[in-house]
Structure 1
Amino acid sequence: MLRTEQHQSARIPLTTGSAARLTHAIGLLAILTLFTSTCTEAQNLGLLEGHADVGNVLHAGNAVYDPANDAYAVTGSGSNLWFTADEMQFAWKRMHGDVALTAEIELVGEKGNNHRKAALMVRQSLDPSSPYVDVARHGDGLTSLQFRLSPGDVTREIETAATAPHWVRIEKRGEFAYVSVGDSREELRFAGASMHLRLSGDFYVGIAVCSHDKDVTETAIFRHLEIQPLSATTRAGRRWSTLETVKVASTDRRVAYTAPERFAAPNWSHDGTSIVFAQGGTLQRFGLDPAPYPSLGVQAAANAHTVPIRIEVAAPLSDAHGFSPDGTQLAVSAMNGGASHIYVLSAYGGTPREVPTDTSAVWTSWSPDGRTLLFTGQQGDQANIYTVPAPGGAETHLPHQQGRNKDADFSADGEWIYFSSDRTGTEQLWRMHPDGSAQEQVLTEAGDDLSPHPSPDGKWLVYIAFPAGRTAPGEQMAELRLLSLSDRKPHLLATLLASSGTIPAPSWSPDSARVAFISYALVQ
């Protein structure tokens, strides 16, 4: 059992201030007093069935329920809730099926490691290396969806854009988990963080604390915990779109912006300070915290919001758009008169000039020298790849085979054009020289591989992989993958609900460290 001195580091905010703060402090003191007094008694765990230290924890943890305040005090130690195995105090209940956990969370005290965590958790077992998913509040306010996909796998995360929300919620619906945050129970709102995880049979749900320092313990208060079984529903959820970025080195993801509507096609600005995406026939610019190379910031700016780019064209824009290599111009596509047209304008907006083509044309890429545009030309059921001078001029139809050849993008050195083609029966990744010669298949996989985009440093190719048997457009389970161009081995970046709008445009950060993409969620 815990020694009472293990709780003496808790800093109770009984300073001068409002009556509400004083009431809060008195309530917190009552909870911690009850916690200390029950360390040697049989414990009431309220909704939960048991608690235990998970992993190689040096200092025993504890959990107690205070019915008068409807609050749990959980104290835990442990070096981390991360990597391939966890160390924490976990208070739990066995469940199966779909479930939602909701609580107000407070980490006690102002000191302690910035990475100490208090979490609402769903995990397969009490084994330290068990698959799990949680929503974790960190000591510095960071709030993330964390998950381990298989036993002994590394932990990955999706950082939300929220800082120290009072209330958090995690829902397991089928094989998806969704996180909501808010400053009150009534203000809980989908945070853009969702992921795919398979749990079988019975599993554990509950509350967890990890001190992120094996030599100390930390305490968190979980107020008004709700554990709600969710019934199956045939009602279609509301579509949310989320602009995310993912680190190539770690595969950790971060939510930049989310909204309950469709948007698509993220494109990083030349200076790394904003991402432009398509929404409702317009282009929106989303500001990021400016940060110098090489660590381009992707945290939303303090007053983050989207700003429309003024484009004076009398037709709704399609998803296709992209910045010129020097960042001064923007290419867009728009439907007009029953056909798609390409336009070029200032990167800051204004009146565009049309780049005439003989076919219905959807822009896909700039050449590295900024002199040439790639586009997909549509003729009936056939789609083929063309080039046209950026200032305007005669288009060139690159050699092709039958079928759909599209999603073309130049390599950074201009030596190759990467594209997708269904000439073998499924969508696969191909490449060719800019004159259409030396066409070769880059990778052979069972499903459909689309939207290949080479990195600015020439080392990687990011693409979206849909499973075999995909028959209809719209959001479907897919994988965002990274192909090493040195050995042609694919690596998983993210599993997500994706569509043609996930990465149709080049979406690398200028330093090749991150990829921007759009994920989708159907939220009940």
Structure 2
Amino acid sequence: MISADGKAEERLTKSPHADYNGPAAPDGSALLVIRVEGEEGPQQLLLQPLDGSPPKPLGPLAGRVRFPTFSPDGRFVVYETNGGKVDPAHFSDLYRVNSDGSGFKRITKNDEGNFEPAFSPKGDAIVFLSSRDRVAELYRMRPDGSDPVRLTNTPRDEWGARYSPDGKVLVFVSDREGADRIWLMPSAGGEARRMTQMRPAPRIVEDKPTWSPTGKQIAYALRAPEEPSRVGIVAMEDGKETFVRGPGGAGQVTEPAWSPDGRYLAVTVTRGSDQQIWIVRADGSGMTKLTSSPGGNWNPIWIPPRKGKGGK
């Protein structure tokens, strides 16, 4: 964990295994961590308190743990796993577990797999990806797994859906035009429209859409032919787009993450074997390097400020 000005750095986990950071708790008290034992060993979802306390296991060891997400009130977590089976090839389903580690239960059940859960802002619904209809389509259900409703119906795949802060719109990725592009549609389902106006091309890849906290902007990662990867920032009011490129125009820029107040974006910049976290203003200006340690630094996650304390 590093401070927002990059001047303080603190190691959160000390396991001999690989630990990958997930999202922070809504109250800023803890972080979800995926622990992987060895190259292909079992995986474990952990709740890592930020006060230095030991991590708490959430759910059993499994062959696959992906996409953990807190409910908006922080009371429980929903994530993708194969539920105690250590075979990583086994299809995943969605499971729910309380933040204290109790109440682990399966909330979807399809042999084809269910993936990538994301909560509505009020916590009354989960949008997720399911392959139950042969192609990957978006579904919505209640937090207990009841009342699943199919939201998309195309012959191609959809994935990566996220609710807007007001819960009215979904942003997601689809290859319905033959390329991975970002689309928007009403959260209740209905007609979708492409977010960006760049002409369709099979080699264009748009990915990782993320809403700003105000819902006025969406940041995403873009890969286009013969150009370094960059992050796009789209204004929802008029569709105007700004691009964040690497320092001096060099390097691959990926993994956009909004600060809790929406004033900044953290991004990962890769130049050769060097991978560091940088921050920019919400308008794409003022790029500042945040990390400098050798090796890989990636997957930036902002931690909401705790009551009475500054954010990190």
Query: When the two structures are superposed, what TM-score results if normalisation uses the length of structure 2?
Result: 0.67
The answer to whether the aligner puts 1:442 opposite 2:244 as a matched pair is: yes
One-letter amino acid of the structure 1 residue matched with residue 214 of structure 2: D
Query: Does the CA contact (< 8 Å) of 1:193 and 1:255 recur in 2?
Result: no
The answer to whether the aligner puts 1:453 opposite 2:307 as a matched pair is: no
- What CA distance in whole angstroms lies between the structure 2 residues aligned with 1:382 and 1:307? 38
How far residue 329 of structure 1 moved from its aligned partner, in angstroms, is 1.1
Flag the structure with higher strand content.
1
- What CA distance in whole angstroms lies between the structure 2 residues aligned with 1:392 and 1:433? 22
The answer to whether the aligner puts 1:394 opposite 2:205 as a matched pair is: no
How far residue 256 of structure 1 moved from its aligned partner, in angstroms, is 4.6
Candidates 81, 88, 98, aligned match of 1:287: 98
Query: Does the CA contact (< 8 Å) of 2:257 and 2:266 recur in 1?
Result: yes
How far residue 390 of structure 1 moved from its aligned partner, in angstroms, is 0.9
Aligned ranges 1:36-115 → 2 under 5 Å: none
Candidates 79, 101, 122, aligned match of 1:326: 122
How far residue 420 of structure 1 moved from its aligned partner, in angstroms, is 0.3
Structure 1 equivalent of residue 12 of structure 2: 158
The answer to whether the aligner puts 1:408 opposite 2:201 as a matched pair is: no
Unaligned runs of 5+ in 2: 2-6, 21-37, 83-91
Candidates 65, 69, 82, aligned match of 1:263: 65
Query: Does the CA contact (< 8 Å) of 1:388 and 1:396 recur in 2?
Result: yes
Query: Does the CA contact (< 8 Å) of 1:429 and 1:452 recur in 2?
Result: yes
- What CA distance in whole angstroms lies between the structure 2 residues aligned with 1:347 and 1:408? 23
**1:467/1:434 Cα in 2 relative to 1: closer, same or farther (>3 Å)?**
same
Candidates 194, 198, 222, aligned match of 1:421: 222
- What CA distance in whole angstroms lies between the structure 2 residues aligned with 1:317 and 1:498? 30
- What CA distance in whole angstroms lies between the structure 1 residues aligned with 2:293 and 2:79? 20
How far residue 382 of structure 1 moved from its aligned partner, in angstroms, is 1.7
Candidates 195, 213, 233, aligned match of 1:431: 233
Query: Does the CA contact (< 8 Å) of 2:160 and 2:208 recur in 1?
Result: no
Q: SS at 1:400's partner residue?
A: coil
Q: Aligned pairs, how many?
A: 266
Higher relative contact order (CA 8 A, sep 6+): 1
How far residue 342 of structure 1 moved from its aligned partner, in angstroms, is 0.5
Candidates 152, 156, 168, aligned match of 1:356: 152
- What CA distance in whole angstroms lies between the structure 1 residues aligned with 2:237 and 2:8? 44
**1:450/1:408 Cα in 2 relative to 1: closer, same or farther (>3 Å)?**
same
Q: SS at 2:291's partner residue?
A: strand
Unaligned runs of 5+ in 1: 1-145, 147-152, 161-177, 180-189, 195-235, 289-300, 470-476, 516-524
Moved more, 255-264 or 371-380: 255-264
Q: SS at 1:425's partner residue?
A: coil
- What CA distance in whole angstroms lies between the structure 1 residues aligned with 2:263 and 2:53? 20
Structure 1 equivalent of residue 135 of structure 2: 339
- What CA distance in whole angstroms lies between the structure 2 residues aligned with 1:276 and 1:157? 26
Query: When the two structures are superposed, what TM-score results if normalisation uses the length of structure 1?
Result: 0.43
Query: Does the CA contact (< 8 Å) of 2:93 and 2:110 recur in 1?
Result: no
Structure 2 equivalent of residue 278 of structure 1: 80
How far residue 386 of structure 1 moved from its aligned partner, in angstroms, is 0.5
**1:495/1:282 Cα in 2 relative to 1: closer, same or farther (>3 Å)?**
farther
- What CA distance in whole angstroms lies between the structure 2 residues aligned with 1:404 and 1:244? 32
Q: SS at 1:418's partner residue?
A: strand
The answer to whether the aligner puts 1:383 opposite 2:237 as a matched pair is: no
The answer to whether the aligner puts 1:369 opposite 2:166 as a matched pair is: yes
Per-residue deviation, residues 260-309 of structure 1 (Å, max 9, x unmatched)? 63312222221123333221322233433xxxxxxxxxxxx3xx357234
How far residue 438 of structure 1 moved from its aligned partner, in angstroms, is 1.3
One-letter amino acid of the structure 2 residue matched with residue 276 of structure 1: V
One-letter amino acid of the structure 1 residue matched with residue 11 of structure 2: E
How far residue 418 of structure 1 moved from its aligned partner, in angstroms, is 0.5
Query: Does the CA contact (< 8 Å) of 2:49 and 2:55 recur in 1?
Result: no
How far residue 493 of structure 1 moved from its aligned partner, in angstroms, is 10
Aligned ranges 1:470-481 → 2 under 5 Å: 481=277
One-letter amino acid of the structure 2 residue matched with residue 158 of structure 1: L
Candidates 491, 503, 521, aligned match of 2:290: 491
- What CA distance in whole angstroms lies between the structure 2 residues aligned with 1:391 and 1:495? 46
Q: SS at 1:328's partner residue?
A: coil
**1:468/1:159 Cα in 2 relative to 1: closer, same or farther (>3 Å)?**
closer
- What CA distance in whole angstroms lies between the structure 2 residues aligned with 1:245 and 1:462? 23
Q: SS at 2:121's partner residue?
A: coil
**1:498/1:383 Cα in 2 relative to 1: closer, same or farther (>3 Å)?**
farther
**1:286/1:414 Cα in 2 relative to 1: closer, same or farther (>3 Å)?**
same
**1:329/1:154 Cα in 2 relative to 1: closer, same or farther (>3 Å)?**
closer
Identity %: 15
- What CA distance in whole angstroms lies between the structure 2 residues aligned with 1:331 and 1:436? 27
**1:483/1:394 Cα in 2 relative to 1: closer, same or farther (>3 Å)?**
same
**Please, what is the CA RMSD of the aligned residues?**
4.2
